[in-house]
């Protein structure tokens, strides 16, 4: 009941903000307040990557005419996820589809449709390696970040990449607030912007350069900026590469469960412990820095644990002011690569139970 009363209050507030006598909030302010109000009310929005564009063994093909009503999450819970994630990887080269084969036209249409339905949209970005021409995971050189900063050989080329990312976000319209989460998982070393691939100064400059170009040069005021290293990490490591309060609205973290040789239950307990440890850190940093917090990516690939949602994820997050939690994508073309259940999946009941918890909100 709590979540329904809360959602009703949120809708009434939104209507009042739009029409009422007090000064109009910007679309970004509205989303910031909405996410803060989730945290204050003790509810957590559930999100899923690429949910409207494809799912387990299906995908949207004729996207211009498709009503975008299919969703694995809706198939098993009756609701769309509240947060919808997309990846911009490929936009930098003006590709027509992203790195997972989703047309950018479909991403734009699905993002706008989801927001029109009352949902929230977030973008991650796995851009190619601007120095080697490889992908985001090409860590063969530790000169890449340096090469795109002022004075570097790839500075001009990279500016064009930023321009293309900005063009896409701008194309959604100034009234459409979105969460942008560039340079994620940067305290690991699997992306070219990772810890061992650049100094802390270079990383901060990369993030700030991105922020400055999009917000100052291009004047995109509809972006909520999320900084999300992988977790768990101690607060001093989180802060080592933190770009600064001016450049960040949401403190996030990406934490996945990996099943170890000790089995499902032990792995679940370990995962929940890691999530709690990191959310404790984020909670104190977010309070100190007056920021929102989220679990920007999580999941257990293939969901081999039938109790992952109710016994793993839920107890790990429920006591924290997490605005949203997002599980990763359900690939349409790799049968075992999914992070949310789908119609016919035998573990779907546990997700449905999770989705009906008082603290968890879907659309
Ligand atoms: C990874 C996997 C990849 C995918 C990438 C970007 O975690 O899901 O298959 O290409 O994310 O979406």
pLDDT tens-digit map of 180-207: 999 999 999 999 999 999 999 999 999 9
For residue 346, what are its two tokens?
A: 């035998």
The crossing angle, in degrees rounded to 10, of helices 155-171 and 104-116 is 40
Local confidence pLDDT in tens for the 363 residues of the chain: 456 555 555 554 554 444 455 567 899 999 999 999 999 999 999 999 999 999 999 999 999 999 999 999 999 999 999 999 999 999 999 999 999 999 999 999 999 999 999 999 999 999 999 999 999 999 999 999 999 999 999 999 999 999 999 999 999 999 999 999 999 999 999 999 999 999 999 999 999 999 999 999 999 999 999 999 999 999 999 999 999 999 999 999 999 999 999 999 999 999 999 999 999 999 999 999 999 999 999 999 999 999 999 999 999 999 999 999 999 999 999 999 999 999 999 999 999 999 999 999 999
Using alpha carbons, select from 263, 259, 253 the residue that is nearest to residue 316: 253
Yes or no: say if 71 and 329 are a contact pair by the CB < 8 Å rule. no
Nearest CA to ligand 1 atom 7: 328
pLDDT of residue 247: 98
Yes or no: say if 326 and 83 are a contact pair by the CB < 8 Å rule. yes
Q: Which atom of ligand 1 is nearest to the CA of 89?
A: 6
Nearest CA to ligand 1 atom 3: 100
Residue 289's alpha-carbon distances to 20, 193, 212, 229, 253, in angstroms, are 30, 24, 20, 17, 16
Of 48, 100, 123, 337, the one to substitute when testing ligand 1's pocket (max ligand atoms within 8 A of C-beta) is 100
Yes or no: say if 190 and 139 are a contact pair by the CB < 8 Å rule. yes
Question: What is the rounded distance in angstroms from the CA atom of residue 258 to the CA atom of residue 329?
Answer: 16
Distance 14 CA to ligand 1 centre (A): 35
Distance 54 CA to ligand 1 centre (A): 14
SS3 track for 294-361: EEEEEECCCCCCCCHHHHHHHHHHCCCCCCEEEECCCCCCCCCCCCCCCCCCCCHHHHHHHHCCCCEE
Question: What is the rounded distance in angstroms from the CA atom of residue 109 to the CA atom of residue 53?
Answer: 10
The CB density around residue 22, as the number of other CB atoms within 10 Å, is 7
Of 99, 298, 302, the one to substitute when testing ligand 1's pocket (max ligand atoms within 8 A of C-beta) is 99
Angle at 38 between CA 37 and CA 44, to 5 degrees: 170
Of 329, 331, 333, the one to substitute when testing ligand 1's pocket (max ligand atoms within 8 A of C-beta) is 329
Q: Which atom of ligand 1 is nearest to the CA of 334?
A: 9
Distance 150 CA to ligand 1 centre (A): 30
Distance 278 CA to ligand 1 centre (A): 23
Distance 123 CA to ligand 1 centre (A): 13
Distance 125 CA to ligand 1 centre (A): 11
Angle at 62 between CA 58 and CA 64, to 5 degrees: 130
pLDDT of residue 3: 65
Q: Which atom of ligand 1 is nearest to the CA of 50?
A: 12
Q: Which atom of ligand 1 is nearest to the CA of 100?
A: 10
Distance 144 CA to ligand 1 centre (A): 21
For residue 7, what are its two tokens?
A: 């959602």
Q: Which atom of ligand 1 is nearest to the CA of 49?
A: 12
Yes or no: say if 186 and 194 are a contact pair by the CB < 8 Å rule. yes
Distance 27 CA to ligand 1 centre (A): 30
């Amino acid at each position: 009941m709590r979540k329904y009363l809360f959602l009703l209050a949120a809708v009434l507030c939104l209507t009042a903000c739009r029409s009422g006598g007090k000064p109009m909030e910007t679309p970004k302010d509205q989303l910031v307040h909405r996410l803060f109000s989730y945290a204050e009310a003790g509810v957590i929005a559930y999100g899923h990557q690429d949910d409207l564009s494809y799912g387990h063994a299906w995908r949207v093909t004729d996207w211009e005419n498709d009503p975008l009503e299919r969703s694995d999450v809706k198939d098993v819970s009756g609701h769309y996820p509240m947060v919808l994630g997309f990846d911009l990887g490929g936009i930098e080269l003006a590709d027509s589809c992203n790195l997972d084969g989703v047309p950018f036209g479909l991403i734009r249409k699905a993002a706008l449709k989801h927001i029109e339905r009352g949902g929230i949209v977030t973008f991650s970005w796995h851009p190619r390696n601007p120095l080697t021409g490889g992908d985001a995971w090409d860590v063969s050189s530790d000169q890449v970040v340096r090469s795109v900063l002022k004075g570097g050989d790839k500075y001009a080329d990279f500016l064009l990449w930023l321009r293309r990312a900005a063009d896409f976000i701008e194309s959604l319209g100034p009234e459409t607030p979105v969460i942008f989460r560039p340079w994620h998982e940067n305290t690991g070393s699997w992306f070219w912007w990772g810890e061992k691939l650049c100094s802390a100064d270079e990383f901060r400059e990369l993030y700030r350069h991105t922020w400055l170009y999009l917000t100052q040069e291009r004047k995109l005021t509809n972006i909520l900026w999320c900084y999300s290293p992988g977790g768990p990490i101690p607060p001093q490591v989180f802060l080592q590469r933190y770009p600064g309060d001016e450049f960040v609205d949401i403190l996030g973290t990406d934490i996945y469960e990996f099943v170890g040789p000790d089995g499902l239950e032990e792995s679940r307990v370990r995962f929940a412990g890691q999530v709690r440890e990191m959310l404790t850190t984020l909670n104190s940093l977010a309070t100190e820095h007056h920021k929102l917090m989220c679990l920007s990516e999580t999941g257990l690939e293939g969901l081999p644990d039938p109790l992952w949602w109710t016994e793993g994820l839920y107890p790990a997050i429920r006591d924290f002011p997490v605005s949203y939690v997002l599980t990763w994508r359900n690939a349409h073309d790799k049968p075992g690569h999914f992070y949310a259940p789908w119609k016919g999946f035998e573990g779907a009941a546990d997700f449905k139970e999770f989705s009906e918890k008082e603290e968890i909100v879907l659309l």
